[in-house]
Amino acid sequence: MQDDLGAVVDLPARVRRVVSIVPSLTEAIAATDASLLVGATDWCSHPGDLEVTRVRGTKNPDLELILELAPDVVIANAEENRAADLDALRAGGLAVWVTAPTTVPQSLDSLERMLGAVTGEAPNWLDEAREVWSTPYAGPRRRALIPIWRRPWMALGRDTFAGDLLQRLGIDNALGQSPERYPKIELTQLPEYELVVLPDEPYPFSAEDGPEAFDVPAYPVSGRHLTWYGPSLVTARALLIEQLT
């Protein structure tokens, strides 16, 4: 079986033990077959009642602990996790499945491929998510700045999942043509934009932290629904439309 990077991943006929080091994919596996999960990161917050061994963060996973858990496969992401850590896990004899979608359709296909390989099924929630995102947006369009950090300020640039998702809600990224995916920005040196989208992760933007820096309407939104691909995609469209109105 091949992951999103085209790497052949040698899995047993039936996967019984999974470590996920990507929060959105932890949620996707838990919503499909939670009994498979034996390890997840400290940042894997959904579902809230998940009881598994915690293996630190996405950028600094406890490699020795993961090896001790002896999973049949480690689920990772090309952007969230460091290649050196994934290589170390492979060198330790573990199978590693890497996802790498940058659009909503790619994420749905990636989830179907990964879940099929790991759980042996395509869950109902994935079909629901496909249905939710199957209708093209046909309303008026707006141009937005989408910060993801401050001190220093950083924002979404080109070829990002969140940028593609917003585009499907009628919101075009003012920095969509940036040469970088997550450029550092100077607020006084930006192209024109009509609104600001402020996700509450990775930086915890809120109504009290972020909007005051801008002279245009700024909307705090759910970072999980904007940047995670998994069961949250079922409700993300309706929720984000509401939050951006």
Domains of the chain: 18-131 (3.40.50.1980), 142-243 (3.40.50.1980)
User: What DSSP letter does each residue of 148-206 carry, written as one string?
Assistant: EETTTTEE--SS-HHHHHHHTTTEEETTTT-SSSS-B--TTS----SEEEEESSSS--B
Residue 99 to residue 97: CA distance in whole angstroms: 7
Per-residue pLDDT of the chain (245 residues; tens, 9 = 90+): 899 999 999 999 999 999 999 999 999 999 999 999 999 999 999 999 999 999 999 999 999 999 999 999 999 999 999 999 999 999 999 999 999 999 999 999 999 999 999 999 999 999 999 999 999 999 999 999 999 999 999 999 999 999 999 999 999 999 999 999 999 999 999 999 999 999 999 999 999 999 999 999 999 999 999 999 999 999 999 999 999 99
Residues written for the chain: 245
Q: Is the link from the previous residue into 47 a cis peptide, with omega within 30 of 0?
A: yes
Distance of CA 23 to the CA centre of its chain: 8
Nearest residue to 88 via CA among 114, 61, 70, 118: 61
Residue 202 to residue 147: CA distance in whole angstroms: 10
pTM over 0.85: yes
Q: Rg (Cα) of the chain, in Å, rounded? A: 18
**C-alpha to C-alpha distances, 142 to 17, 97, 167, 169, 217, nearest whole angstrom:** 45, 37, 9, 9, 12
Which amino acid makes up residue 241? Answer: I
